[in-house]
Amino acid sequence: MNKLKILNDPIYGFITIPNSLIFDLIQHKYFQRLRRITQMGMSYLVYPGAHHTRFHHAIGCVHLMQKAVNVLRFKGVAISDDEETGLYVAILLHDIGHGPFSHAMEHSIADGVSHEHISLLFMERLNKEFNGSLTLAIQIFKGQYPRKFMCELISGQLDMDRADYLKRDSFYTGVAEGNINSERLITMLHVVDDGLVVEEKGIYSVEKFIIARRLMYWQVYLHKTGLAAEQLLIRVLQRAKELHDKGHKLQASKPLLYFLENKISLKEFNDDTLDVFAELDDFDIISAMKHWQHDSDFVLSNLSDMIINRNLLTIKLRKKAIQDQALEKHILTLMHKYNISRSEAQYFVFSGSISNQAYQEKTKTINILHKSGKIEDIVKASDQLNLKALSKTVTKYYICYPKEKL
């Protein structure tokens, strides 16, 4: 059977599957589940085109990794066939642990369990199935492989994950500000002292990349309407769990009921739990909310209705933390109007904060390789004065409350 298939991607054109292991992993039901996980959570309520999936994104990352391997080999960096496959597998599976609606549901389905944890559990399970052929990929994914630049290609400031999602999300949302030149960035990569660097002539592409990241975060990923929708989604699940604990019968799919009935933390995340999680996707949540919008519980029915019919909360952004009296005013209004308790009103009135740091100067740097051989951080190497400012964390505060009528 021919496993070297070609896929047609709207961003890069034709993408080739590099080897039979990658083909078999793509065919596996754990990976196919990613077709049913939206890449951008609730952003489609703001940008109608943002319906692309984690499946799209993971395949795009493998394509970019193939380009990176070819570029580095061409420049004399030794990468063995096993390392090459390890890089492809690690980037293909880096997001396999995402739950429904990607980041929106993280920590909601399972208690304090990140998608990276679950990705690792999936990879370890697949490693058993594939007779240990994912061992090297797991080392790279965990950042434990001795060749540091390989770990940076998976998770770093200029990794293949970011190189794909900025370009892809920009394309599907129609937000042109995020459209980076990932091909040129990859062509400018090199390795010095086992670390990833960018050649000097790629400096403007790096500047564009950092600025594009900042703009995409404020304009898309942290868009206030998308943020309000995500918060509602988290509260829907919170309320469903609360009701279930009180003995209130709820209609939901088997996998979703399992997570409503059981308090699952990383300790309880065994093989059986992983199998149930592997059946959970966006459709379970949407389907449940379609039932729950008609539930007898005031909170659950209204929260579900708000998402299903896009009748979202009002959200206001502020530069300073929200004062308690601002929340109190809306809570009291809601309690009197609908004769509900304070704890019920707090599902609809709440505050929080969002932060954006386009460039993490202290943790993972982007190093520029000058023609002289000198290596310098992009902030020092660039004549773009804002890059220093972009490495500072900017925090905004928000308040959410209902419109006139629920």
What pLDDT, in 10s, does the model give residues 349-365? 999 999 988 777 666 78
Q: What is the model's pLDDT at position 385? A: 62
What SS3 class is residue 376?
strand
C-alpha span between 245 and 240 (Å, rounded):
9
pLDDT at residue 75 is higher than 70: yes
Higher-confidence position of 235 and 392: 235
Q: What is the model's pLDDT at position 363? A: 65
Query: Which residues lie closer than 8 Å to 132 by C-beta, 6 or more apart?
Result: none
Residue 154 in contact with residue 140, Cβ under 8 Å? yes
What would the 3-class secondary structure string for 240-306 be? HHHHHHCCCCCCCCHHHHHHHHCCCCHHHCCHHHHHHHCCCCHHHHHHHHHHHCCCCCHHHHHHHHH
Residue 375 in contact with residue 368, Cβ under 8 Å? yes
Among 98-107, 132-141, 214-223, which is the least confidently predicted range? 98-107
Averaged over 329-348, what is the pLDDT?
A: 96
Q: What is the model's pLDDT at position 253? A: 97
Averaged over 246-275, what is the pLDDT?
A: 92
Residue 293 in contact with residue 303, Cβ under 8 Å? no
* Distances in whole angstroms, Cα of residue 163 to Cα of each of 89, 104, 156, 241: 17, 22, 11, 37
Averaged over 354-383, what is the pLDDT?
A: 85
Q: What is the model's pLDDT at position 245? A: 92
Confidence grade of residue 239 (pLDDT, cut at 50, 70, 90): very high
Give me the sign of the Cα torsion angle 119, 124, 126, 132. positive
Q: What is the model's pLDDT at position 361? A: 63
pLDDT at residue 269 is higher than 80: yes
Identity of the amino acid at 61: C
Averaged over 263-272, what is the pLDDT?
A: 88
Among 70-74, 209-213, 262-266, 318-322, which is the least confidently predicted range? 262-266
Question: In the chain, helix, strand, coil percent, each to 5?
Answer: 55, 10, 35
Confidence grade of residue 58 (pLDDT, cut at 50, 70, 90): very high
Averaged over 131-143, what is the pLDDT?
A: 97
Confidence grade of residue 106 (pLDDT, cut at 50, 70, 90): confident
- For 334, other C-beta atoms within 10 Å of its C-beta total 21
Residue 276 in contact with residue 256, Cβ under 8 Å? no
Residue 334 in contact with residue 343, Cβ under 8 Å? no
C-alpha span between 197 and 243 (Å, rounded):
53
Give the H/E segment covering residue 206.
helix 203-216
Q: What is the model's pLDDT at position 268? A: 85
Q: What is the model's pLDDT at position 8? A: 96
* Distances in whole angstroms, Cα of residue 207 to Cα of each of 129, 213, 387, 389: 43, 10, 8, 13
Give the H/E segment covering residue 395.
strand 394-401
Closest CA to 400 of 301, 334, 309, 308: 334
